[in-house]
Structure 1
């Protein structure tokens, strides 16, 4: 079942095109990673999904409803956490959480208290006294204490320490186990890799790669560390071999998937002492797309 569908979505601000033909879907019970550097178009896409911005062309729907025309009905079934939560300064954190839950018409006191305890939040303090991390905790508690079917999380762990990031990840996985869907926009690649079923990479307003991590990894380079009895002369000149450098463990290099067989054949004739292979990571793929490029979009 498709929960969210974006079809050739574009957004212009005057002559500036912030989004270009963005297309992806999110299924029920799926955690979908939406990654790119600051300014690539992630937040513009999310603001469009929330009904804040009207698309210039294309369409987007959540639960089969148009995000612009039926945003009020959609918001009854989603929870949104921004990258920097702006809260009412004179209310306490607890009052803000209760307000959000009351607006949604859902209230689970036991779940709310569990979240407050796990995120180590003092709900009795005024929001004006909170650090950025504590403001994020208020937003996260309000989101996960709700009965939302789709969580839209835009850089949700900004300002959280590593321990709280781990608590966040536990609740995202719990939501998935309950059949909920999650759109996770982040530039923390390790977090996305740990949590997400599928990923889309956006650059300068365009989706440049999407799919499951396994599907995308064939496009990345395998990291090898090789030590041989005879010198590895000429290895850097082989097709598909990149960033060759000497380390304490041996010669480190990156190899394109299609060139791996030829490289292994060559080094096997030189008397292998050590051969370490590290699978490609999401960061490897991300950096390949962004090497030598910049972005100035929002």
Structure 2
């Protein structure tokens, strides 16, 4: 094997440099703050040298407090629950849409792709805030739901407190997050499905498979990479979401993003807020790392 050229090393090193500067270093700064003790508007030094004695002072009390306070546990659990619900609904809605786009005539696919990306032309904050008017009293979406009797079903499921009360509920929260993050599910799925070899479906039909069975045994397994990519793109930002729970959620939909905001700006307790942020990052990265390892092991076993 020939030695790697300087240009190749540079090309490979750019992503690692990007991760170092924009992820690892900020994470280390937050980690440092989480084990520091705050003095007014500054932080005590972690390492001190006094009279020839080197002292390292790390404060882990914030992490212990998080494990003992139910508020943080419930906020983490709620964040995971609503992120998982949002991911499931995005997959349920996005997969048929992406499948239709991939099977549409080539001339129509750019227009369909533009329809998916069109919401990005409007401010994220404005799009979320518009749902307050649509779901509030006199909103046409609320009127349609009332006319269809959907509020009775939602009341039976326990996601709204009463007839026509859609705002500041788990329903409005999940609806807003599904609306916002649906394109992040559709685009990876479309990219994956549009590259699928259609001859495989023809071969399955020749072997006697029904269209439904061919879909589950051929199309879905081959689109697994798109499903995983779309799910990660939706789930990860949903866990730390703040704007949508603040505008569309209620007191019963407290998520970890709101807890972070309160610790940083209401309580002005940066070490505690940093501890919450570090645990939130680990909560996302550890399962993701385990999943990637399982995927790599499975791929290695197939070789």
* Bucket of the pairwise TM-score, normalised by the shorter protein: under 0.3
Larger Rg: 2
Q: Would you tell me which structure has more strand in proportion to its own residues? A: 1
**TM-score of the pair, normalised by structure 1:** 0.22
Q: Would you tell me which structure has more helix in proportion to its own residues? A: 2
